[in-house]
Amino acid sequence: MSVFIDNATRLVVQGITGRDGSFHAKQMMEYGTQVVAGVTPGKGGQRFENAVPVFNTVAEAVAATKANTAVIYVPAAVAASAIFEAADAGIGLVIGITEGIPVLDMTRVLPFVRERGARLIGPNCPGLISPAKSKVGIIPGNICKPGNVGVVSRSGTLTYEIVHQLSTHGLGQSTCIGIGGDPLIGTNFIDCLTAFQADAETDAIVMIGEIGGTDEQQAAEFAKREVKKPIVGFIAGQTAPPGRRMGHAGAIIAGSSGTAAEKMAAFEKAGISVMKRPADVVPLLKERM
């Protein structure tokens, strides 16, 4: 098993003929992901890399290829429309890589996706990877190795750092998920913790949060009640000044609820081992596993 994607994932790449879409589509294909279709309006009938058919709409792509997952590499101004189109075409899992999507757009996207029974990961995220099975997004496949540690993170760069630490020390991953750092996202920590708890191949979990909001506190309370597997956590932005946004649109401290100290205290209260720095992940996991 793995979480959300596996060998059966059939991927359509929205924006496959653009700069980012074409680059990462090649990377995903080389990793072994089943990229069955691309979508670029007006370019239907072409073939990407002489192998992948390109369609004008997601509905056409789904009808022809039975795609069940979509990844979005289109500009922020039209990204919401691309998510609408994927969900409306019956795609069950949509991964939004695009950053800079207006929050107002996301207030319309999230209920639309849920009403159609689809899951959105992101936006403004690196996607996810189940090592040796499937990669959807931009997480480098060469730093991952198959194993039994699930990783969920708000930060793309820290995902790479933590995964590199794990792989270098022989701790492979079941699935690594970048959920994104925007104020409104489709899949949160609790969703991923639930999936990892249910996954027979995940024996331990690494949760990477950051300052801003209360998602980490809510996830810690949930983990204390519902998650039986060991969790190691990290909070980015431990030296951030109050009122200053640090990196992600959602990483801004308001009062005391979004501070690193408050989140780390919530982790400790829930029995989550807390890293002071990313390099601590391996010794802490080995203590708990």
Is residue 212 scored above 90 in pLDDT?
no
Residue 173 lies in a domain: yes
Residue 5 lies in a domain: no
As a whole number of angstroms, the distance between CA 166 and CA 147 comes to: 10
149 and 281 in a single domain? The answer is yes
Residue 143 lies in a domain: yes
pLDDT at position 156 is 86
Is residue 245 scored above 80 in pLDDT?
no
Give how many domains the chain has, as a whole number.
2
212 and 249 in a single domain? The answer is yes
90 and 147 in a single domain? The answer is no
Residue 249 lies in a domain: yes
**Contact, 152 vs 177, CB < 8 A?**
yes
pLDDT at position 100 is 94
pLDDT at position 173 is 98
Residue 131 lies in a domain: no
Of 58, 89, 121, which residue sits at a domain end?
A: 121
Of 91, 121, 151, which residue sits at a domain end?
A: 121
Is residue 60 scored above 60 in pLDDT?
yes
Per-residue model confidence as pLDDT tens digits over 6-49? 999 999 999 999 999 999 999 999 999 999 999 999 999 999 99
pLDDT at position 257 is 60
Average pLDDT rounded to a whole number, residues 127-156: 97
**Contact, 135 vs 141, CB < 8 A?**
yes
Specify whether 248 is catalytic: yes
Is residue 135 scored above 80 in pLDDT?
yes
The residue annotated as part of the active site, out of 24, 164, 169, 248, is 248
Residue 82 lies in a domain: yes
In 8-155, beta strands by DSSP E: 10-14, 34-39, 47-48, 52-55, 69-72, 93-96, 119-121, 127-130, 134-137, 146-153
From residue 136, alpha-carbon distances to 6, 29, 34, 88, 188 in Å are 10, 10, 10, 20, 18
Average pLDDT rounded to a whole number, residues 227-254: 72
Domain range for 148: 139-288
151 and 267 in a single domain? The answer is yes
Q: What is the CATH number of the domain that holds 45?
A: 3.40.50.720
Q: What is the residue-averaged pLDDT of the chain?
A: 93
Q: Which two tokens stand for residue 247?
A: 């990196």
pLDDT at position 193 is 98
Q: At what angle do helices 281-288 and 156-168 cross, to 10 degrees?
A: 60
Residue type, 196: F
Cβ-based neighbours of 16, under 8 Å, separated by 6 or more? 22, 25, 38, 39, 40, 48, 52, 54, 73
Average pLDDT rounded to a whole number, residues 164-185: 96
Per-residue model confidence as pLDDT tens digits over 94-115? 999 999 999 999 999 999 999 9
Average pLDDT rounded to a whole number, residues 227-246: 80
Percent of the residues in the chain that have a pLDDT greater than 90, as a whole number: 87
Nearest to 234 by CA among 196, 275, 201: 275
As a whole number of angstroms, the distance between CA 65 and CA 68 comes to: 9
Please tell me whether residue 288 adopts helix, strand or coil conformation: helix
From residue 221, alpha-carbon distances to 116, 182, 205, 228 in Å are 29, 22, 15, 13
100 and 181 in a single domain? The answer is no
Per-residue model confidence as pLDDT tens digits over 72-91? 999 999 999 999 999 999 99
Is residue 255 scored above 60 in pLDDT?
no
Residue 3 lies in a domain: no
Average pLDDT rounded to a whole number, residues 233-247: 71
pLDDT at position 33 is 98
